[in-house]
Structure 1
Amino acid sequence: MQSFILLLIGLVGGTVGSLVGLGGGIIIVPALLFFGTYTRWLSGITPQTAVGTSLLVIIFIGLASTLTYMKHKTVDYRSAWIFFLGSGPGGIAGAIANKSLNMHSFSIYFGSFIILTSFILMFKDKIKPKKMKRPFPIMRIYQDPDGNMHTYGFHPVTAWVLSFIVGLFSGLFGIGGGSLMVPAMILLFAFPPHVAVATSMFMIFLSSLLSSITHVSMGNMDWGMALFLVPGAWIGGRLGAFINTRLNSKTVVNVLRVILLVVGFRLIYQGLF
């Protein structure tokens, strides 16, 4: 039963994270903390262990989804590596900052972040790529399956600052950071939505790898849990990316944002009382 629940957590986290570009940790971390509070078999789990284990799982979610997006040629590798120059150090800083949080403070901060993510998802469908008003130092051109050409670009300094903040939240809360990165890529840099999600997942793979190494070095890892979370997350990562390229994810997003609101308020209540 324990193994099945962990597999299911990994599967749901991987599917949702890959589908909308979140990374999966925003599902995995609250689930681990919930079962750690209300079950004996995960009793005693700390925010540090939940975050460190989640980041290890996100590595496989990011890799699985990236392999699927590669087939559809929607990953902008060069942009992802530029973003990683900011998200990588940010992830290390977040992992170091995480060790100062106890269960109460972590629940309040993470619950607030989850509620913010829910509101971002609420307006996700209304976010459209802006038209380029002026050229940026780094410019890209993408041709979609219908033959339409999309021009987008960004300034490297802006990209580094933004991705550092995303990496900081990733290392701090054990999430991928796509809830912030994808809308920013669409609104600020005019990325086509599918390219933004796919590129975000590749960046998440890279930054989670570095953040996870930092957490492992600090002992924030439960290898037993990871053993069952990873297979589910791998399947979910491939499944979510497949769905993203085939279907409209609106229904899933609508359900997810309601769940996140409930989870966010519950975490804050738990932290306060």
Structure 2
Amino acid sequence: MSLETVLILISIGIAAGILSGLFGVGGGIIIVPSLLGVYAFTHFNSPYIVHIAIATSLFTIIFTSLSSAHKHFGHGNVEWKAALYIGLSSAVTVFLFSKIAILLPGEILKQTFSVVLIIVALKMLFDKKGKHEDPAEKKPEVFKPWLCLVIGALSGAIAAFSGLGGGVFVIPLMHYLMKVPFKKAVGTSSAAILITAAAGVISYFINSPAGANSIPYSFGMVDTLSAVPIIAASIPFARVGVYINRKTHHYLLTKLFAVFIIIVSLKLIFF
């Protein structure tokens, strides 16, 4: 691997880490398309190239979300019970859907998710409540195990088909349906995504078809040579993202997150 490629991978890790800490997402929106670009740059080709990028993205997200969740926990912004329910539910669906994703492109499902995400994002973008304080801060959090399980199931399906951590669904649903303050929803999402990503990697490893691990030093469909520089950069920069999260007013943060969701959705639809 050339120095130029390593520097590109480090840059990917920096961007993914900041996004993870700031918004409670895994960073897959950056990692998957960037890895595909790196593979094109290095002339690597495989019939499973997209699946390799997704599996590698999920592998890096394990470490990035761990760093992010640890920092958010230090600020009291992780609801562990909700994270556990969401994470375990997503682990089941990501495990099941990863097997399907290897066989199918999943374009229709991704586009359906994207339309729903855009609707949620537009609500967040044009919601005028909470300019001065988060309205959820005044309301008791509604912890319903069944609701956490549903949210987790949706995030797991997204992770399996797209390589995203699922936070784009988890955060707005926790905020609006469970009345969780936005910044706590971000921290809880980081913790839940850790479980989601780990289950996805295991599933891709178990269901890896013959010839899928054609990259040197890979295991299953995970490209470890590309993953290491990304992880090395994303871990410290996830903490930078958490710092920015802490310093940003929740109202501005929700608007930025809404714009981020729209970008993610358009990427899933058109790219």
Q: Report the TM range for the smaller structure's normalisation.
A: 0.7 to 0.9
Does structure 2 conserve the Cα–Cα contact (< 8 Å) formed by 1:69 and 1:75? yes
Root mean square deviation, CA, Å: 2.9
Structure 1 253/74 Cα, relative in aligned 2: closer, same or farther at 3 Å?
A: closer
Does structure 2 conserve the Cα–Cα contact (< 8 Å) formed by 1:169 and 1:175? yes
Q: 2:34 maps to which residue?
A: 31
Taking only the aligned residue pairs, the percentage that are identical comes to: 25
Letter in 2 for 1:229: I
TM-score normalised to the size of structure 2? 0.79
Q: Determine whether 1:204 maps to 2:193.
A: yes
- The correspondence of residues 1-273 of structure 1 with structure 2, limited to 5 A, is 1-36=4-39, 38-44=40-46, 46-101=49-104, 105=105, 110=110, 113=113, 117=117, 120-126=120-126, 150-217=139-206, 218=208, 219-248=220-249, 249=253, 253=257, 256=260, 260=264, 263-264=267-268, 266-267=270-271
Q: Which is worse superposed, 111-120 or 230-239?
A: 111-120
Does structure 2 conserve the Cα–Cα contact (< 8 Å) formed by 1:47 and 1:106? no
* Runs of 5+ unmatched residues, structure 2: 209-219
Question: How far 1:233 moved relative to its partner?
Answer: 1.6
Cα distance in 1 between the residues matched to 2:112 and 2:82: 30
Query: Partner of 1:152: helix, strand, or coil?
Result: coil
Does structure 1 conserve the Cα–Cα contact (< 8 Å) formed by 2:125 and 2:255? no
Q: 1:271 maps to which residue?
A: none
Q: 1:138 maps to which residue?
A: none
Cα distance in 1 between the residues matched to 2:106 and 2:20: 21
Query: Partner of 2:64: helix, strand, or coil?
Result: helix
* Runs of 5+ unmatched residues, structure 1: 131-143, 268-273
Question: How far 1:154 moved relative to its partner?
Answer: 3.0
Structure 1 262/153 Cα, relative in aligned 2: closer, same or farther at 3 Å?
A: closer
Structure 1 187/240 Cα, relative in aligned 2: closer, same or farther at 3 Å?
A: same
Question: How far 1:62 moved relative to its partner?
Answer: 0.7
Deviating above 6 A after TM superposition, structure 1's stretches of 4 or more consecutive aligned residues are: none
Structure 1 128/193 Cα, relative in aligned 2: closer, same or farther at 3 Å?
A: farther
Q: Which is worse superposed, 115-124 or 60-69?
A: 115-124
Q: Which is worse superposed, 64-73 or 79-88?
A: 79-88
Cα distance in 1 between the residues matched to 2:146 and 2:269: 35
Q: Larger % of strand: which? A: 1
